[in-house]
Amino acid sequence: MEWAMPKLRMTLEAEVQLVLDELWGEKLIPFALNVGNISKDVGEYTIYFHDSRIYSAGVTLSTDRPLRDVVRSSVLARVKELSGPWNWPREGLRRTNRGGWLRTFVSIIAALQALSG
């Protein structure tokens, strides 16, 4: 008897988070974004982020483009609307689950100390 693995369908939040992680990994956005919640309206999703710099992005649903492409272009357009200088992360300071936040914190402290002194 042969067992078949059931197809697992990704949640919408997980699918959008993968797109955000790709944008961050490709250095197309200046900071990592995490999906907080996604609300659905007629013909549109609104993605809410756990971030104080960018709260949300509207994604217009399309039948002729994959969700991944629509989310990508919408998030890039939303980030482009932001003003102010962004310090892009140096190589090696990507978000990880193994102390990446600590390296980022230490580099921010070092940059602030260099600016003040």
Pick 39 or 1 by higher pLDDT: 39
Which of 58-62, 67-71, 110-114 bottoms out in mean pLDDT, i.e. has the lowest?
A: 110-114
Taking only the tens place, the pLDDT of each residue in 18-60 is: 999 999 999 999 999 999 999 998 889 999 999 888 899 999 8
Q: What is the residue-wise DSSP string for the chain?
A: ----PPPPPPPHHHHHHHHHHHHHHTT-SSS---EEEEEEETTEEEEEES-SS--EEEEE--SSS-HHHHHHHHHHHHHHH--S---PPPTT----SSSHHHHHHHHHHHHHHHHH-
Segment 73-101 mean pLDDT: 67
Average pLDDT value for the chain: 80
